[in-house]
A and B are shown apart, each in its own frame.
Chain A
């Protein structure tokens, strides 16, 4: 039935489905984005493998235990977890066709993301001030590559959120902008998952070992 309707009209008019899935052309893009996330996971998998192998190779420089500041990375974790929640609330507001709530929650998410980045940059600057530069040891090269790649992803996510905010402000909530918001939030939640592994494998394990 749905297939015949799709063949005739180019889309399935199914108001039961969430807005971002109502147009098949948009929902196939969501599938494509899931596949991208699966491949991006592999990138992080390789960086985690590198870090785990080189973790103890400090070459007489600062070790993980000496370097990591618990309140600092706890704050980063809290900011990113909360921003994942507020991003989710933006998706919820989109599904309820509440444009002003969508714009407000994206703005909150962007601010929390910027807060996370601010803490990360100051953490890196403090490390460098203590002599823990990227070229100091294999451990630090692996550390900055892994955590920095995540930070770069977050920076891209912030830019992408801002662009999505502008599009929704100008065009309202359509099937296309709904899909765009859904996809940018998938990316954002994915970065939160990666961060959970960074604080577990890198920071907490570094502090206890």
Chain B
């Protein structure tokens, strides 16, 4: 079946609105502005500041996934969400556990 040649313009289809995209864009700008303001004004002491920045970045992931990437939509069971959650878990595990293990006194003495 040649789908390539089959034009789909002109059919009856629901109109999609730009609202979701505009809300997504504005929230990503606000989250970014907050991150820059907190960091440049040193609004918190270092430890809490880094945690706040990571939380803001985490919210940006949610904004991109929900408003732009339509992660909650799709055809059939949401297998892609399973892959996504597993990917995110391994990514954060590799990065954060590296920081954790290198923070051990025996290690930091040897490498620095």
Chain B residues contacting A25 (CB-CB under 8 Å) are 3
Stretch of A87-95, A112-120, A157-165 contacting B (4+ beta carbons < 8 Å): A87-95
CA distance A209 to B24 in the complex (A): 30
Chain B residues contacting A35 (CB-CB under 8 Å) are 80, 83
Mark A30-61 against chain B: 1 for CB-CB distance below 8 A, else 0.
11001101110110111011101100110000
Contacting residue for A85 out of B25, B69, B102, CB 8 A: B25
CA distance A174 to B65 in the complex (A): 25
Contacting residue for B69 out of A95, A97, A189, CB 8 A: A189
Interface residues of A in 172-203 (CB under 8 A from B): 172-176, 178, 185-186, 189-190, 192-193, 196-197, 199-201
Chain B residues contacting A23 (CB-CB under 8 Å) are 3
Q: Which one of B21, B64, B102 has the greatest number of beta carbons of chain A within 10 Å?
A: B64
CA distance A53 to B3 in the complex (A): 50
Chain B residues contacting A200 (CB-CB under 8 Å) are 35, 53-54, 56-57
Assess the A57–B112 pair: CB atoms within 8 A: yes
Interface size on A, residues (CB 8 A): 72
Show the binding face of A for B, using Cβ within 8 Å: 10-11, 15-19, 21, 23-27, 30-31, 34-35, 37-39, 41-42, 44-46, 48-50, 52-53, 56-57, 70, 74, 77-78, 81-82, 84-85, 87-89, 91-92, 95-97, 99, 171-176, 178, 185-186, 189-190, 192-193, 196-197, 199-201, 204-205, 207-209
Known: A23-B3, A38-B87, A39-B87. 5 other contacts (CB 8 A): A38-B83, A48-B94, A88-B68, A174-B5, A196-B61
Show the binding face of B for A, using Cβ within 8 Å: 1, 3-16, 18, 21, 24-25, 28-29, 32, 35-36, 39-40, 42, 46, 49-50, 53-54, 56-57, 60-61, 64-65, 67-70, 73-76, 79-80, 83-84, 86-88, 90-95, 98-99, 102, 111-112
